Amino acid sequence: MKNFNIEQILDIMPHRYPFLLIDRIESLDDNEVVGIKNVTYNEPFFMGHFPGEPIMPGVLIVESMVQTGGFLILKKLGDPKKKVVYFSAINKVRFRKPVRPGDVLKHKVQLTSFRSNFFKLKSKSFVEDTLVAEGEFTAVVADRKEI
């Protein structure tokens, strides 16, 4: 099991501000990753979602989960700078509790199967010990285009 700081994440992931939605990888092995997203009031989406009652949008919680899973896939492939992960299906997503400024989202993502360049993942996301979201995802890996 290994952990990764933000600089190491930036080395692997193609995402950048304002759309990199993981801050730390707490642990990683062949089939499981735990990623952290620190939710702060400074996030730009809180200005409009919702004034007076800031709640992290569900689609961004899902994006943070799949980015954590994407990190696992890219590390598994061995040469992440040459590949990109596209998510092709999002299934059985459930939001259990709102996520608010000050919360620390912990995504536990498990690789359930893979064949060739197709990967299936399950994710559960927690704030402290409370399950706040979960879902299943399918991803496909392709060659990254030169920029």
- Residues of the chain with pLDDT > 90, as a percent, come to 92
Positive or negative torsion for Cα 43, 68, 133, 58: positive
> For residues 26 and 2, is the Cβ–Cβ distance under 8 A?
no
CATH topology of domain 6-143: Thiol Ester Dehydrase; Chain A (3.10.129)
Q: Which of 20, 26, 31, 49 is catalytic?
A: 49
CA gap 35, 23 in Å, rounded: 8
Please report the pLDDT score of residue 146 as a whole number: 62
49 is known as an active-site residue: yes
* Residue corresponding to tokens 């197709």: 118
Considering the entire predicted model, what is its pTM?
A: 0.95
pLDDT digits (tens, 9 = 90+) for 78-131: 888 899 999 999 999 999 999 999 999 999 999 999 998 999 999 999 999 999
For the chain, what are the domain ranges?
6-143
pLDDT digits (tens, 9 = 90+) for 23-60: 999 999 999 999 999 999 999 999 999 999 999 999 99
CA gap 140, 86 in Å, rounded: 5
Dump the DSSP string for the chain: ---B-HHHHHHH----TTS----EEEEE-SSEEEEEEE--TT-GGGGTS-TTS----HHHHHHHHHHHHHHHHHHHHS-GGGEEEEEEEEEEEEE-S---TT-EEEEEEEEEEEETTEEEEEEEEEETTEEEEEEEEEEEEEEPPP-
